[in-house]
């Protein structure tokens, strides 16, 4: 009987893969927005109960958050899963031309159907190996809702859901294979609601106080602020209420929603104060009043080099991620669909140049492994994985579920979301995550090293939760 844990894990991944591919496809076919992922959660709970996991419902007080646990002794090895979709990205599967499956419908434009499926596969396979070998550890899968702007993990962290975890392991679909050795931007969602006075815009404009003017002046002020912040800072906004459709009425109400991003938690708090001052100034100039409405946010990711080295080593052992001729052909069709978008095409060329410079050739799908030398980079996006990383060491990888150059939050991602290539990459991610977990369990000193690094990166700084007490609305991340 085979007793080598690595070989047992390979067999467990292969044996369980069809079931979790099916779950990923079902979630793809029923895309649900943040905090409303009820069918997706039910599918995942059924899948994990079938593998002998115990379920904790409504984790952190969220209807669509849960935990699935296996084992009673040893360190808690956590796997992070997501499953929320995005609005307006419905797309027919396997088609390289834009064609909504449902007009104006939702779609998995960030690959979260695969993300949850892959993490569950990793957790279930690892539990099977531990059961067979008698190795002691606890395996936990976190079903995390509302990553796309709802910041579900932040609510879960604040409720203490991750306090007993030794490490947390995750992944994200993407265009490259490799560890995600980078930080992200801390982000705050904040609405500014202006209240003015209505009046006839022709007969008595002097009696009115325009809330819409205040919104426009605030946005001008924010645009000037961009010159006086660090290059990594991001400010973006959307006017969510223009005060009505009648130009003959001085708008008595208007609202603008800002996403405010900076590399560090303390920076983003300082930046919010500066944007608030701009809002106050706009109100003062227009004779209106302004309300500040916090709508959540996420911390920057604290990367962990110890865990990245462990996962990179596992991915090296797993070898190339080989795709079939048919899978490459479809990926090439997707790449051609990007050619009419100058910025996206430039991104695709840049990613292709990375492959060429690494000696991997001009392939439509990445089949090699990005190098890792221990250095961490600064990313420009945001994720609520950052909140988890402030309370427990976190590591993530990415695998090539999409054609080279595919931008996230696009219909092209949805078109590839249940393809054979995406399935293959999801299974590879599960093998990398479960393999890293097995290495950590077999070498407890690595967990201690990772936790020491985690404390060093925090450097005594407190975790400052950015989520409000109530559940915020949906704002794509």
CB 345 within 8 A of CB 339: yes
Domain co-membership, 446 together with 321: yes
Q: How large is the greatest C-alpha to C-alpha distance in the chain, in angstroms?
A: 91
Which two three-digit tokens encode residue 252? Answer: 């008595």
Q: Is residue 317 part of a domain?
A: yes
Residue 474 is predicted with a pLDDT of 45
Q: Domain boundary residue among 298, 325, 350?
A: 298
Domain co-membership, 323 together with 404: yes
Domain co-membership, 310 together with 361: yes
Q: Domain boundary residue among 298, 321, 337?
A: 298
CA–CA distance, 325 with 323 (Å, rounded to integer):
7
Q: Is residue 466 part of a domain?
A: no
CA–CA distance, 456 with 305 (Å, rounded to integer):
12
Q: Is residue 161 part of a domain?
A: yes
Q: How many domains does the chain have?
A: 2
> Using one digit for the tens of pLDDT, what is the confidence trace for 84-93?
999 999 999 9
Q: Is residue 470 part of a domain?
A: no
Give the long-range contacts of residues 16-21, CB within 8 A, separation 24 or more: 16/51, 16/121, 16/124, 16/125, 16/128, 17/121, 17/423, 17/427, 17/430, 19/47, 19/50, 20/47, 20/117, 20/118, 20/120, 20/121, 20/124, 20/426, 20/430, 21/117, 21/423, 21/426, 21/427
Domain co-membership, 122 together with 260: no
Domain co-membership, 151 together with 191: no
CATH number of the CATH domain containing 266: 3.30.70.360
* Residue whose tokens read 């006839």: 200
CA–CA distance, 193 with 276 (Å, rounded to integer):
12
Q: Domain boundary residue among 269, 298, 327?
A: 298
Residue 413 is predicted with a pLDDT of 98
CA–CA distance, 373 with 246 (Å, rounded to integer):
59
Domain co-membership, 408 together with 428: yes
Residue 473 is predicted with a pLDDT of 46
Residue 77 is predicted with a pLDDT of 98
CA–CA distance, 369 with 77 (Å, rounded to integer):
25
Q: Is residue 54 part of a domain?
A: yes
Residue 471 is predicted with a pLDDT of 57
Q: Which of 117, 158, 159 is nearest to 141 (CA)?
A: 117
- Count of CB atoms situated within 10 Å of the CB of 46: 11
CA–CA distance, 284 with 289 (Å, rounded to integer):
8
Q: Is residue 473 part of a domain?
A: no
Domain co-membership, 304 together with 320: yes
Residue 475 is predicted with a pLDDT of 46
The partner residues of 107 in beta bridges, in order of sequence, read 86
Domain co-membership, 159 together with 242: no
**Regions in the chain scoring below 70 on pLDDT:** 1-2, 340-350, 352-361, 470-477
> Using one digit for the tens of pLDDT, what is the confidence trace for 334-347?
999 987 665 665 66
Q: Is residue 476 part of a domain?
A: no
Domain co-membership, 273 together with 343: no
CB 468 within 8 A of CB 474: no
Domain co-membership, 348 together with 426: yes
Residue 467 is predicted with a pLDDT of 86
Domain co-membership, 85 together with 97: yes
Residue 2 is predicted with a pLDDT of 60
Residue 363 is predicted with a pLDDT of 87
Q: Is residue 477 part of a domain?
A: no
Report which secondary-structure segment, H or E, holds 56.
strand 54-57
Domain co-membership, 40 together with 166: yes
Q: Please, what sign has the CA dihedral across residues 305, 307, 310, 313?
A: negative
Residue 361 is predicted with a pLDDT of 65
Give this prediction's pTM: 0.92
Residue 462 is predicted with a pLDDT of 87
CA–CA distance, 83 with 33 (Å, rounded to integer):
9
CATH number of the CATH domain containing 320: 3.40.630.10
Q: Domain residues for 77?
A: 5-184+300-458
């Amino acid at each position: 009987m085979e007793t080598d844990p690595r070989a047992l894990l390979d067999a467990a991944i292969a044996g369980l893969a069809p079931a979790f591919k099916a779950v990923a496809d079902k979630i793809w076919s029923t895309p649900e927005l943040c905090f409303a992922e009820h069918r997706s959660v039910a599918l995942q709970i059924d899948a994990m109960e079938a593998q002998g996991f115990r379920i904790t419902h409504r984790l952190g007080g969220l209807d669509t958050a849960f935990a699935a646990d296996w084992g009673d002794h040893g360190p808690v090895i956590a796997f992070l899963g997501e499953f929320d979709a995005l609005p307006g990205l419905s797309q027919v599967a396997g088609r390289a031309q834009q064609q909504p499956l449902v007009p104006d419908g939702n779609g998995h434009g960030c690959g979260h159907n695969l993300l949850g499926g892959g993490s569950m596969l990793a957790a279930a396979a690892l539990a099977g190996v531990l059961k067979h070998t008698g190795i002691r550890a606890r395996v936990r899968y976190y079903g995390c809702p509302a990553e796309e702007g709802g910041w579900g993990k932040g609510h879960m962290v604040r409720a203490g859901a991750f306090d007993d975890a030794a490490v947390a392991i995750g992944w994200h679909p993407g265009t490259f294979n490799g560890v995600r050795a980078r930080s992200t931007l801390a982000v705050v969602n904040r609405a500014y609601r202006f209240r003015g006075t209505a009046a006839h815009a022709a007969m008595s404009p002097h009696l009115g106080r325009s809330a819409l003017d205040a919104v426009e002046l605030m946005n001008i002020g924010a645009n000037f602020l961009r010159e006086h912040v660090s290059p990594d800072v991001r400010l973006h906004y959307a006017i969510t209420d223009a005060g009505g459709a009648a130009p003959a009425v001085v708008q008595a109400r208007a609202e603008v929603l800002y996403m405010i991003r900076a590399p560090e938690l303390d920076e983003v708090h300082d930046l919010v104060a500066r944007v608030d001052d701009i809002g106050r100034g706009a109100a003062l100039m227009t004779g209106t009043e302004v309300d500040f409405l916090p709508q959540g946010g996420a911390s920057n990711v604290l990367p962990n080099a110890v865990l990245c080295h462990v996962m990179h080593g596992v991915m090296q052992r797993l070898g190339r991620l080989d795709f079939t001729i048919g899978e490459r052909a479809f990926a090439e069709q997707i790449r051609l669909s990007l050619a009419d978008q100058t910025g996206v095409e430039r991104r695709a060329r840049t990613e292709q140049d990375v492959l060429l410079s690494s000696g991997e050739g001009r392939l439509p799908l990445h089949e090699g492994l990005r190098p890792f030398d221990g250095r961490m980079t600064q990313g420009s996006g945001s994720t609520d994985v950052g909140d988890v990383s402030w309370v427990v060491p976190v590591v993530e990888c990415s695998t090539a579920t999409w054609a080279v150059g595919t931008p996230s939050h696009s219909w092209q991602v949805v078109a590839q979301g249940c393809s054979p290539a995406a399935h293959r990459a999801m299974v590879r991610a599960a093998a990398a995550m479960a393999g890293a977990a097995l290495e950590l369990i077999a070498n407890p000193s690595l967990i201690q090293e990772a936790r020491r690094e985690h404390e060093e990166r925090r450097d005594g700084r407190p975790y400052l939760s950015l989520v409000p007490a109530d559940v915020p609305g949906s704002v794509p991340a």
